[in-house]
Amino acid sequence: MLYDNLSVSENGHLCFAGYDTAELAARYGTPLMVLDEDRIRSRCRVYKHAMKEHFPAGSMPLFASKALSFKGIYAIMAQEGIGIDVVSSGELYTALEAGFPPGRMYFHGNNKTDFDIRFAIQSHIGYFVCDNIPELEAIEQEAAQQDVTQKILLRLAPGIDAHTHEKINTGRIDSKFGVAIETGQAEELVALALQKPHIALCGYHCHIGSQIFEHTPFCDAAVMMLDFMAQMQRKYGYQAKILNLGGGMAVPYTEKDPTVDYSENIRKISALIQKVCREKSLDVPVVLMEPGRSIVADSGITLYTVGGAKVIPDLKNYLMVDGGMTDNPRYTLYQSEYTVCAPEYMHDTPDMHYSIAGRCCESGDLIQENVPLPKLNRGDLLAVLTTGAYNYSMASNYNRLTRPAVILIGDEGPRVAVRRESLSDLIRNDV
Ligand SMILES: *Cc1c(COP(=O)(O)O)cnc(C)c1O
C-alpha cells in the first residue's frame, strides 16, 4: 500500500488508521474526508525535532494552514507546540477561536487588506510576512494607530526555479508574491522597513514552490537568501535574525513517486546554511519552515459513493461519484495525480479503466482519468488517497453542493471534526 496507515482486511476492505473505510462511510455518509490524527502529529514532530536538532534555538516549523484549515487542526498544532502561517482574517479567526497563541502566527499573502492588518494587529499576531511597499506603509500606519511595534519578515523572491508545476512555482522573479532580490526591489523594501518607527524588521522569507522532492532547490534558495542577508548587513548594518525558507516538501501521491525523508533534507539544508554562514561570517539565523502538504496530505483520504458508470464503447468509461471538484479541485486545476481504489473490493482484479467524474455541471469536473479498478456499480464506494492537503481547504459550494464532513481518527477513535454542511447552511446568508 502507498502508506503504512493503509491496510486491507480479510474481507477485502480498505482500512485507514486502523478503521474499516466501509464502516466509516456507513456511519458518517459520503462524501467523507477522513484524517489520521496520529500521522498528522507525528509529521509535526518529525519537522519540529529535526529543526530543533539542526538549527539554532527558536527554529521551528510553521504549519501552512492554507493546506487544511478548521478549528481542530489548529488545536492540534497548538498542542504540538509549532507555529502556523495564515493568509486571511478567516484563517486567523479560526485559529484564534481554536485557542492558538497569536504570537506563533505569521500572516502571509500578497494582498492583505486594511481590515486584515487591523484585525491581525488587534489580535497581537506575532509577525506579518510583508509582501510589498504599499503593504509596508499600511502596516506602519496601523501599528502607529494602535501604538505598537509590529514584527515583520519580508517576502523575497530569490529567483529559484524549483522544477515543479508552473502554477505552484512561486520563487521566480515574475511571481505575484514578494519582491525580487535580482531587481533591487528587495533592497529597497529593506531600506524602507528599517526607517519605519513602528516596524521591527526581523528577517526574510521565501517560498520557492510546492511538491519539491529534492533538497537542492531549498539549498539554492538558502544560498541566495544568505547572500542577500550578508549584503544588507554590509550596506545597512542590519543583521537579520530569522530566515524563513517557506514550505514545499513533497509527498508521494502514487506508487511512482519517491518518498521524501524530511529530517534528512533538513539536516542537509542545515549543513549548507552553516557552511555558507561561516564563509560569509554571518551568525546562523533562526530558521523557520512552512510545511503544509507534507504535514497533512498523506494523513487524509476521501470516500465517495458511486452513482453509476457510463460506458462509451471503445472510448471511455466514466464512474460518477457524489462529490468532485467541489471537494477536490486539484485535478481540474493542475491535473494532479491521485491513487484511487475500490475500498470494498481490494482483493478484486482491476480489469476496468475508469475516468472518475464529479457531479458538477462542468465536463472538466474530474478527479482522475484512466484509473484501473474492478467493475463498480451504483452504491459502491470509491476512495481517493492523499487528499489531506488542498482538498477540504479548497472546497466550494458550486452547484450548491454541501461540503463534506471531516472525521479525525485519534487515540479515542473517529470523531466529527467538521460537520457536513446542511441544506440550510447553504442559504444562511441569503437575504
Ligand atoms: C503554500 C505555501 C506554503 C506551503 O506549501 P506546501 O507545499 O504545502 O508545503 C508555505 N508557505 C507559503 C508562503 C505558501 O504560499
Task: Report pLDDT for 80.
Answer: 98
Question: What is the total residue count of the chain?
Answer: 431
CA distances from residue 39 to 33, 76, 254, 282, 325 in whole angstroms, order as listed: 15, 11, 18, 37, 26
For the stretch 200-214, pLDDT in tens is 999 999 999 999 999
Fold agreement between 6-36+297-426 and 108-291: no
The best mutation among 290, 298, 333, 387 to test binding of ligand 1, ranked by most ligand atoms within 8 Å of the C-beta, falls on: 290
**What are the sequence ranges of the domains in the chain?**
6-36+297-426, 108-291
CB-facing half-sphere around the CA of 240: CA atoms within 13 A: 28
**What is the distance in A from the centroid of ligand 1 to the CA of 102?**
19
Q: Which residues of the chain fall below pLDDT 50?
A: none
Homologous superfamily assigned to 108-291: Alanine racemase (3.20.20.10)
Q: What is the pTM of this model?
A: 0.96
Task: Supply 62's cell numbers.
Answer: 510553521
Task: Supply 179's cell numbers.
Answer: 519582491
Q: Which atom of ligand 1 is nearest to the CA of 248?
A: 7
**What is the distance in A from the centroid of ligand 1 to the CA of 213?**
14
The total of other beta-carbon atoms located within 10 Å of residue 243's CB is 27
**Catalytic residue positions, numbered:** 361
Homologous superfamily assigned to 6-36+297-426: Lyase, Ornithine Decarboxylase; Chain A, domain 1 (2.40.37.10)
